[in-house]
């Protein structure tokens, strides 16, 4: 966009200009970081008056005032303008979600090259006057036209999807979970944290001595928590699966043992957790800046899945996405290219999965492939390449060619894009919660919340049937 200023000589009393701007929660988080003003009244998810309800996020008055500088610097007088003084009177408050209109009007000019302007900001919805005042600026003396610079984009590292998921899970009864070998601080702490948040009721299966030592390290007590003393990992995994098979637990959770040991117990023929599908792993990812949760599968169990395994990978992901509130999940089956190339096996599998979904062999979602990563998640990339489908550019589930690709994609999103990742194994009688020692508190809670929400839907459907 081209910008042109008005020089001191061109300005005359009565000249005015205005700009509109929506106030978003992200704007206020950025302002808090830049200004150092961390007043909780200006930040989301606060309950200052302790009434049990989240307070309205009030915009800092100086953020509202800063909209005036945008008009002065961009439009009137425009580029080359420098402040001398600014006076504000604040009459009302703006909140996140308000659309605001900032306006300046030239009052008079002085011989020293300064210009006095009236300033005001109003809320568009009701024309309420939020602030008024006067500014004195040094007006530009030289005519200047320039193309407005495209500044680097800002993404606020916020995990709103997990926040909403946790709020939803908190309204549901706690899930009874058999936790296998939580014998060091990270795994035990995650289970106890989820218990404190009333997401789960843990049954700890493992070495009682090691669990007590881990609790002592954390400064926590295991009083009131059911413990089944089973020092050997293999025996602990089998016992935990027995607890699920007996109906005493509705989910399984990995502690400090290898995933293979846990899954071997879950996959046993007698009193195991098989339902006739492959066990598949799903990362539910909250990527800052993305408008929806993103599911990535399979990134932890099936190393080089064949076509039939990929059918189960797709179906398990669709079932979980529906539980998370995505009515008709859009599944993008990834490959290196978006056209079928017989030399690239993943592109052939993707095309077959897409056709199988059309024929009802995969149900509940929309499946399309092959799609490259760019045209799976970016609508502009999809249009440039001429791909027209409900999935291209807006995929909510990404099915990767193999474990290598899935693991790398998930870790890139986590460590480069600052995503949080919840991990769940699907295809069993109950959800299996997988957490990593590298997971933070949010990821551990989110993994439990995903299991709670999914199992609640499964129980409701079973009851309805």
Nearest-angstrom CA–CA distance, 238 and 267: 10
Domain span at residue 362?
276-427
Q: Is residue 209 included in any domain, yes or no?
A: no
454 CB-contact burial (10 Å; exposed 0-12 / middle 13-18 / buried 19+): buried
Residues 184 and 163: their CA atoms lie apart, in Å, by: 27
User: Are the C-beta atoms of 393 and 383 separated by less than 8 Å?
Assistant: yes
What is the reported pTM? 0.74
Q: How many domains does the chain contain in total?
A: 2
Do the domain assignments include residue 245?
Answer: no
Q: Per-residue b/e over 318-334, b at no fewer than 16 CB within 10 Å? A: bbbbbbbebeebbbbbb
pLDDT, residue 276, reads 92
For Cα atoms 272, 274, 280, give the angle at the middle one, nearest 5 degrees. Answer: 120
Residue 273: φ, ψ to 5°: -115, 20
Query: pLDDT value at position 441?
Result: 80
Residue 305 lies in a domain: yes
Write down which residue in 147, 168, 196 finishes a domain: 147
The answer to the question of residue 39 being in a domain is yes
H or E stretch at 297: strand 294-297
Tokens of 102: 């900032």
Domain contains 75: yes
Instruction: Tell me the CATH number at 413.
Output: 3.40.718.10
Averaged pLDDT, groups of 10, the chain, 465 residues long: 88 95 87 89 75 78 95 93 96 91 96 95 95 96 80 66 90 96 92 94 96 95 95 96 96 93 94 94 91 93 97 98 95 96 97 97 96 92 89 96 96 90 94 82 89 93 75
Q: Are 74 and 21 in contact (CB under 8 A)?
A: no
Whether 143 and 283 share a structural domain: no
Tokens of 131: 């602030």
281 & 420 share domain: yes
- End residue of a domain, out of 147, 175, 203: 147
| Bond preceding residue 64 cis, omega within 30 of 0 | no
The SS3 of residue 280 is strand
Yes or no: say if 218 and 189 are a contact pair by the CB < 8 Å rule: yes
Domain membership flag for residue 194: no
The pLDDT value given to residue 436: 76
CATH assignment at residue 97: 3.10.129.10
Domain end call among 120, 147, 174: 147
Taking the C-alpha atoms of residue 252 and residue 184, their distance in angstroms, rounded to an integer, is 18
Position 291 scores a pLDDT of 80
Based on the domain organization, do 283 and 423 belong to the same domain?
yes
Tell me if 76 is assigned to some domain: yes
Would you say 429 and 275 are in contact if contact means Cβ atoms under 8 Å apart?
A: yes
Residue 190 lies in a domain: no
């Amino acid at each position: 966009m081209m910008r042109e200023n008005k020089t001191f000589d061109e300005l005359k009393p009565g000249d005015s200009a205005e700009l509109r701007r929506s106030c978003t929660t992200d704007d206020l988080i950025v302002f808090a970081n830049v200004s150092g003003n961390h007043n909780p009244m200006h930040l989301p998810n606060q309950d200052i008056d302790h009434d049990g309800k989240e307070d309205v996020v009030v915009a800092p008055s100086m953020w509202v005032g800063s909209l005036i500088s945008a008009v002065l610097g961009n439009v009137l007088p425009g580029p080359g303008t420098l402040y001398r003084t600014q006076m504000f009177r604040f009459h009302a408050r703006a909140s996140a979600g308000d659309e605001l209109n900032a306006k300046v009007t030239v009052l008079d000019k002085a011989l020293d090259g300064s210009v006095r302007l009236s300033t005001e900001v109003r809320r568009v919805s009701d024309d309420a006057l939020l602030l008024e005042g006067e500014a004195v600026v040094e007006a530009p003396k030289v005519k200047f036209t320039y193309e407005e610079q495209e500044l680097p984009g800002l993404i606020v590292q916020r995990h709103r999807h997990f926040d909403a998921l946790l709020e939803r899970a908190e309204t549901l009864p706690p899930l009874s979970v058999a936790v296998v070998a939580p014998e060091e601080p990270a795994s035990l702490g995650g289970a106890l944290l989820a218990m404190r948040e009333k997401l789960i009721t843990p049954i700890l299966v493992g070495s009682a001595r090691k669990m007590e030592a881990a609790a002592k390290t954390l400064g926590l007590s295991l009083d009131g928590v059911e413990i089944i003393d089973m020092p050997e990992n293999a025996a602990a995994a089998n016992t935990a699966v027995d607890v699920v098979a007996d109906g005493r637990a509705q989910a399984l959770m990995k502690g400090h043992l290898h995933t293979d040991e846990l899954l071997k117990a879950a996959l046993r023929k007698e009193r195991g957790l098989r339902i006739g599908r492959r066990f598949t792993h799903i990362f539910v990812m909250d990527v800052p800046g993305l408008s929806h949760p993103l599911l990535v599968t399979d990134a932890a169990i099936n190393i080089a899945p064949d076509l039939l395994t990929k059918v189960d990978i797709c179906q398990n992901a669709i079932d979980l996405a529906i539980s998370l509130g995505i009515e008709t999940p859009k599944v993008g089956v990834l490959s290196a290219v978006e056209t079928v190339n017989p030399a690239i096996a993943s592109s052939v599998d993707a095309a077959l999965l897409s056709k199988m979904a059309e024929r009802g062999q995969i149900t509940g979602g929309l499946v399309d492939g092959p799609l490259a990563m760019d045209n799976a998640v970016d609508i502009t990339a999809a249009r440039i390449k001429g791909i027209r489908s409900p999935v291209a550019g807006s995929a909510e589930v990404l099915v990767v060619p193999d474990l290598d690709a899935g693991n790398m994609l998930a870790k890139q999103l986590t460590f480069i894009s600052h995503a949080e990742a919840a991990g769940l194994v699907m295809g069993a009688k109950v959800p299996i919660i997988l957490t990593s020692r590298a997971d933070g508190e949010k990821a551990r809670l989110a993994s439990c919340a995903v299991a709670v929400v999914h199992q609640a839907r499964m129980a409701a459907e079973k009851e309805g049937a």
